[in-house]
Amino acid sequence: MTATTDGSTGAVPPRAASATETTTAAKEEPAALEAPTTPEDAARRAVQRATDFLLARQDEAGWWKGDLETNVTMDAEDLLLRQFLGILDEATCKAAALYIRGEQREDGTWATFFGGPGELSTTVEAYVALRLAGDAPDEPHMARASAWVREQGGIAASRVFTRIWLALFGWWKWDDLPELPPELIYFPKWFPLNIYDFGCWARQTIVPLTIVSAKQPVRPAPFPLDELHTDPRNPGPAQPTAPLASWDGAFQRLDKALHAYHKVAPRRLRKAAMRSAARWIIERQENDGCWGGIQPPAVYSIIALHLLGYDLKHPVLREGLASLDRYAVWREDGARMIEACQSPVWDTCLATIALADAGLAADHPQLLKAADWMLGEQVVRPGDWSVRRPGLAPGGWSFEFDNDNYPDIDDTAEVVLALRRVAHPDPDRVERAVQRAVRWNLGMQSRNGAWGAFDVDNTSPFPNRLPFCDFGEVIDPPSADVTAHVVEMLAVEGKAHDPRTRRGVDWLLAEQEKDGSWFGRWGVNYVYGTGSVVPALVQAGLPGSHPAIRRAVGWLESVQNDDGGWGEDLRSYRDAGQWSGRGESTASQTAWALMALLAAGEKDSGAVRRAVAWLAETQREDGSWDEPYFTGTGFPWDFSINYHLYRQVFPLTALGRYVHGEPFSGKGS
């Protein structure tokens, strides 16, 4: 796999700084480019170079955005969508195939993260995409892939979403897929299983799929896929039925009942349900044509609406298709990679924090430009979150360019922390935005005192039991990393002793693992969780001597690699005993561990000195770091992310704090 290192798409070329724009680091260290002789010298030199690199990659509008790399299912499904709609062109197909071929491993498989094992569904979808591009099944790379797929059980063993894509072309039977009725749209929010029991990302995908499931369309397949079945004459063996007394058994029987209902569903009711689902979908289309700022809901929404008679020139579909083109990243070799989503708000607030903590002047023009852009992105209208919090005033930020329906708690907390580091010329404007954000985040606290990413108390046990939901997380329970970021923000805002903040602190303390770490939901994994929680607890008033902090320090020191860095493989989500805190050193994970140790008062420790030395020694001449490993998480284990800007912002933040001390403590308590 080839990993780019420039950390940004749409970057602006470097420019010379004026006398008033030079960094604090440069002012303090006129000889910073000389060979470093101490850890402090090495850190200062690395900070200066990383600062220059990051400043040069800000967009003229004020934002930063690194590539968001996932896996080739995004690219394969993009081609399948275009084939289904009859709009697949040769240039797009060729460019996508070039990228997909480049990601294939020697054994013929495709993985979901760098260095990971071959994954069946990903390999099936990549293989089919290359067949669409004209690769013959007897070509060596294709033969290796199909042989491996058969060894793993063939298409029948792949996940439901993969088989849905194949069913669209007759490569799989709709009757052999779980049923998902559109009447689900009518279930009230108090009902044990309704659309708002699903996490927002699953909800946006499932609603359009209810229409697809009801319509069961089949477009003529351009070729057979017999080579991907263990037995082409019997491609879908019946799944054993679990005992009735078990949850799996109960939901299997429910699915059989739904299949029977599909054949006798009242026509008027079904049509009305599909119209209601379509209305729900259209109401949630963003101004730029996307749905939720992420690719999968957009793909399924386009298919669903097209099946209901919306032609491709209809404004809804026209803008939806145009939004998909914006997820494409074109490589220098002509390959085309599809991003699952884009992360400008997240990247911009993290870049702002990094630059400020690295010593850049708080009134630096580029920080002011970033602050202005973030202020303009605040969401000031209700979204789906208001179903559970109808009286709460809006005030959050989303992750993407356009996603007003689903601002998230994590971004909101980090944007506030970023804005507080900037000396904006209109402080009243910042204050109003921050107060709206604080009120919204407090209002989104779950009953247990913690915070999820998008919704309140999104913890129903039922969605994960559906046979349809065999891939990734479909609910949004509170997590340690999000809760930590909110607690840190509230402490900075002078609410360290607010009862709501203390409930968050108590929840975090109760969630600490026996070994001293914390689980990481949105980053890999225990290193991310621990790197998020320790600074938050210290900011909230816990001393470095607190037992929870000492246990965390002890765990981090115990899993530091011999080279001085930290790394954690995604396999820790499957096997924590073997992989927790274990993996090749990476720049972002080393930075997370370093930030935790610095917050705990360990600046002079040997672990910190070795970490600083590793970051300084592995920095590239242009000020960046190389990081092919995936350290971000969409769904733990199932969907992994390589945020190309993580390798830049987190090392700069950590080294900046090493050089300049911990960030400000805000308004106090």
Q: List the catalytic residues.
A: 410
Q: Which residues pair with 291 in a beta bridge?
A: 285
**Opening angle at CA 475, ends 474 and 478, nearest 5:** 145
> What residue type is 345 in one-letter code?
V
Q: 68-69 and 639-643: which strand pairing?
A: antiparallel
Q: Which residues, in sequence order, are CB contacts of 45 under 8 Å at separation 6+?
A: 29, 32, 33, 34, 36, 616
Ramachandran sector of residue 450 (left: φ over 0; alpha: ψ -120 to 50; beta: rest)? beta
Instruction: Please tell me the distance from the alpha carbon of residue 516 to that of residue 508, in angstroms, as a whole number.
Output: 12
Secondary structure percentages of the chain, helix, strand, coil, to 5: 50, 5, 45
Residue labelled with tokens 């621990």: 530
Q: Which of 372, 228, 354, 367 is nearest to 658 (CA)?
A: 354
Instruction: Please tell me the distance from the alpha carbon of residue 530 to that of residue 512, in angstroms, as a whole number.
Output: 9
Question: What are the angstrom distances between the C-alpha of 374 and each of 89, 344, 396, 653?
Answer: 37, 10, 11, 19
Instruction: Please tell me the distance from the alpha carbon of residue 281 to that of residue 204, in angstroms, as a whole number.
Output: 8
DSSP string, 371-437: HHHHHHT---S--GGGGT-TTPPP--B-SSSS-TT--BHHHHHHHHHHHTTS--S-HHHHHHHHHHH
Q: How far apart are the first and last CA of the chain?
A: 48
The burial class, CB within 10 Å (0-12 / 13-18 / 19+), for 13 is exposed
Instruction: Please tell me the distance from the alpha carbon of residue 16 to that of residue 12, in angstroms, as a whole number.
Output: 12
Q: Which residues, in sequence order, are CB contacts of 478 under 8 Å at separation 6+?
A: 446, 448, 450, 451, 452, 459, 507
- State the alpha helices, DSSP H only, in 232-364: 247-264, 267-283, 295-307, 315-325, 344-357
